[in-house]
Amino acid sequence: MRKVPLGDVIAPAISARAGSRQLPLLSMTMHDGLVDQTTKFKKRVASEDTSSYKVIERGQLVIGFPIDEGVLDFQNLYPEAIVSPAYGVWNIRDSNTVHAPYLHKFLRSPEALTYYKSKLRGSTARRRSLPHEIFTAMTVPLPSLDEQRRIAAILDQADALRTKRRTQLAHLDALPQAIFHEMFSHVAAVRPLGEVLMDVQTGVSPKCEPRPAEPGEWGVLKLSAVTHGHFNPGENKAYMGDATVLQRVEVNRGDILMTRKNTPDLVGHVALVAEDCPALSIPDLIFRIRVCDEMNPVFFSTMMMNPRIRAQVKKLAGGAASSMSNISMARLRTLRVPCPPVRAQDAFAEIIGSVTTQRQQATRALSEIETLFSSLQSRAFRGEL
C-alpha cells in the first residue's frame, strides 16, 4: 500500500476569529470527538468572551490535546462553529484523493497514537505537544479512494459496536445513583458521619517506580484507583523496598477507600474494594474506612458518591478552588448523612450487586471489542482487510 507524508494530505488552516459572531461553540471529547457544548454540558461552559476563538468550517480537521489519546475530529456538525484558540485546525488538500472518514480513523489508530507518544515534546504530561513539522512527517497509508471508503465503512460498523457497549456501560454506571435516589431520597433520619465510622486509616507513600507493580511485587495505589466510584487495582506504582512498611495498610476485600486529597471535583471520591488485592497498599492520600454494623458498606460507598453528599464534601474540603483540595477526617466526621434501616440498606446492596455483575460483564465485553477493533485497524492500514 502506498504511503505518503501526512503533510502531503493536510495543510494548516488560517482560521478567522469569532469576534462578535454568535456561532455554535464546540468542545473536544475523547470518545465523541467534537460536541456542541449546549448538548454535552446543557450550557456553554467556556469563558463568556469567545472573541478570540477560532471559526472552523464544515470538513476541517480539529486537533485537541492530548493528541496521544486521539483527541481529534473533523467538524461535520455545522457550516461554521467556533473552538478554543488552543486547538489546531487543518484542511484536507485534495478531497479527490483523500476520504476524510478514512483519514480520521487512521489518525486515531494504534499506529498513529504510538507515533504521537514517541514524538511528544514538553514536560507537563497532559500539555505535551507535537510540533507541526513532526506531525506532518508521519506517513499515512493511502490506497485508492474507493478502497479508503470501503475500509472506513467496515471500521464504522465495528466502531458502532464499541459505541453501543460504551453506552450500555454508561447506563449501568448511572443506575446505582438512580436506584439510591428512588429508595432513599425521602429518608428523614440523619446522623453525623463520625457516629457510623468504626475505623479510619491513612496509608504511606514511599518512593515508588513510575510503572505498575508486576506479579510478586508490592504496589502502592494511585489516586486514580479510587476516582469515579469504581476501584481499579491496576492503578498503582511498584514499590521495590522493604514491604514491611506497607503490610499494615494492605488493601483487603471490603475496604472502603476515599481520596482525601485531589482536585476539587475529585476530592472525597469513594470506592468499595470487592476483590482480594494481595500486595497492594494504600497511600497517605487515601483514607481506608470501616463502618459500624448499622451501615452497609455498599450503601455507604454509593451514598458518599451521591451528588447531594458530594456537594457537601466539596464544601468541607480546604484548598484553592483551582488547585488540589484537602479534606480532614475531623471535618468529614461532621458531615450529616442519611441512615435508613439496615434492612433497607441490605436490600439496596443486593440490587447493586446485580448491577455490579452486569457492569463487570459489560466491561469485559467492551475490552474484548476494543482489542478486536485495534486488530482490525492494524490490518486495515496494512492493506490486509
How far is it, in rounded angstroms, from Cα 59 to Cα 74? 6
How far is it, in rounded angstroms, from Cα 89 to Cα 132? 11
Amino acid identity of residue 96, one-letter, is N
> Among 187, 199, 173, which Cα is nearest to 309's?
187
- Return the pLDDT at 273: 95
Q: CB burial class (10 A; 0-12, 13-18, 19+) of residue 202? A: middle
Residue 366 φ/ψ, nearest 5 degrees: -65, -40
Each residue of 26-69: pLDDT tens digit?
Answer: 999 888 899 998 776 555 555 578 899 999 999 999 999 888 88
Each residue of 164-187: pLDDT tens digit?
Answer: 999 999 999 999 999 999 999 999
The CA distances from residue 247 to 207, 219, 244, 280, 289, in Å, are 16, 11, 5, 9, 17
Q: What is the pLDDT along the chain (385 residues), one digit of tens a residue?
A: 899 999 999 999 999 999 999 899 999 988 889 999 877 655 555 557 889 999 999 999 999 988 888 899 999 999 999 999 999 999 999 999 999 999 999 999 999 999 999 998 876 655 678 899 999 999 999 999 999 999 999 999 999 999 999 999 999 999 999 999 999 999 989 999 999 999 999 999 999 999 999 999 999 999 999 988 899 999 999 999 999 989 999 999 999 999 999 888 899 999 999 988 899 999 999 999 999 999 999 999 999 999 999 999 998 987 655 578 899 999 999 999 999 999 999 999 999 999 999 999 999 999 999 999 999 999 999 988 8
| Domains of the chain by start residue, with CATH | 3-142 (3.90.220.20), 145-187+340-385 (1.10.287), 189-338 (3.90.220.20)
Contact between 75 and 60 under an 8 Å Cβ cutoff? The reply is yes
Q: Is the peptide bond before 341 cis (omega within 30 degrees of 0)?
A: no
How far is it, in rounded angstroms, from Cα 83 to Cα 326? 33
Is the pTM value of this prediction over 0.85?
no
